Amino acid sequence: MGARRPGGLTDADDGQEAPVPVHFVLPSTSLWVLPVERWWAPDGDSALGRRCPVFVRSRDGGGRSRLRERQTRWADLVRGPLEGRRTGLDSATSRAVPVACVHAPLTLEEGVALGYPLMLWSRSTRHEDCAAFHQWVDELLRESVTVHELLARLRPLEAAE
Ligand SMILES: [Zn+2]
């Protein structure tokens, strides 16, 4: 992030309503390892991830050839129920949410290429941390029938700690 204030970020955060999520659009999944939730807003006194949910988005979501798959999968995620999926994305249902860590065979590139509109992943380099991540994801998916329920349960890091 440069020195410029993100447009609307502070105006939108009045402290009264649910935090406004921040989305980073990155051109390559190789950049998704960047710890964007730990970056600080220029005016801020804490990391973004402590103030609001932070999402990373693909610039093209796998390209126009996957638009129909993304739309179908998103519509099914809205209806639910959601299914966490750690392997076999090519044979998963359209209600699957890929769950990955950097040590697992499932890759973010694969998820983007197959048109998955939502993925959850851990960037931890310590595989020992992944058990806690997978437990958190399992609870999140168990409590969330639809994608909107899941997104509503994503909290800033501070509230989750
Ligand atoms: Zn791992």
> What are the pLDDT digits (tens) for 109-127?
888 888 899 999 988 889 8
CB 43 within 8 A of CB 13: no
Report the separation in Å between the CA atom of 105 and the middle of ligand 1, taken as the mean of its atom positions: 10
Give the pLDDT confidence score for residue 117 in this predicted structure.
92
CB 132 within 8 A of CB 161: no
Report the separation in Å between the CA atom of 159 and the middle of ligand 1, taken as the mean of its atom positions: 24
Report the separation in Å between the CA atom of 8 and the middle of ligand 1, taken as the mean of its atom positions: 36
| pLDDT tens per residue across all 161 residues of the chain | 333 344 445 555 555 567 788 899 988 888 888 889 889 877 778 888 888 888 998 877 666 777 888 999 999 999 999 999 999 998 999 999 999 988 887 888 888 888 899 999 988 889 899 999 999 999 999 999 999 999 988 876 655 54
Q: How many CB atoms lie within 10 A of CB 60?
A: 13
Report the separation in Å between the CA atom of 136 and the middle of ligand 1, taken as the mean of its atom positions: 14
What are the b/e assignments for 13-35, b being 16+ CB within 10 Å?
A: beeeeebeebebebeebeebeee
Which DSSP string corresponds to 66-80?
Answer: GHHHHHHHHHHHHH-
Please give the structure tokens belonging to residue 11. 């105006």
Dist. CA 118–CA 120, nearest whole Å? 7
Report the separation in Å between the CA atom of 12 and the middle of ligand 1, taken as the mean of its atom positions: 35
Q: Furthest-apart CA pair in the chain: how many Å?
A: 46
**In the chain, what are the domain boundaries?**
19-59, 62-106+114-155
